[in-house]
Amino acid sequence: MDTIGKRIRAARKANNLTLIDIKNITGLSTGNLSELENDKFLPSANALIQFKKLFNVSIDWILTGEEPNYATNPQAFNEMKEAYIISEYTEDEIKMIESYRKLDYESKQNLKGYLAVVLSTIDNR
């Protein structure tokens, strides 16, 4: 599949969805979807995000036909992974991690010991 439109069509068909199904899910008109699939124009950022979620494919794949290769840029991978992980934490958890990182080695060891004691009392309930 050498075009964005062909990849969108292939993803839609692989998910057994019609243009009307896509319209009902995303709100994009069937005319626009048809024109996208026929490479009349490029998808908007919003459409790319919706296709990514709906078809469970990467935006890189939609645009280039290739998956992102984080192996060639480990720093980018680590930044992406850290951003994802941080987004899963609550604000309090992030503050605790930031505070922990400011501690010296001995203080970190003391905190780990305290946590072990607290957790053992919870486990024994």
Residue-wise pLDDT for 42-72, tens only, equals 999 999 999 998 988 889 899 998 876 655 5
- As given in the structure block, the two tokens for residue 120 are 């053992």
pTM over 0.85: no
Record: fold of 4-64: 434 Repressor (Amino-terminal Domain) (1.10.260)
Q: Specify the pLDDT at position 66.
A: 83
* pLDDT < 50 positions in the chain: none
Contact 55, 16 (CB under 8 A): no
Q: Specify the pLDDT at position 77.
A: 61
Listed by start position, the domains of the chain span 4-64, 70-123
Contact 33, 23 (CB under 8 A): yes
Give the count of beta carbons closer than 10 Å to the beta carbon of residue 30: 14
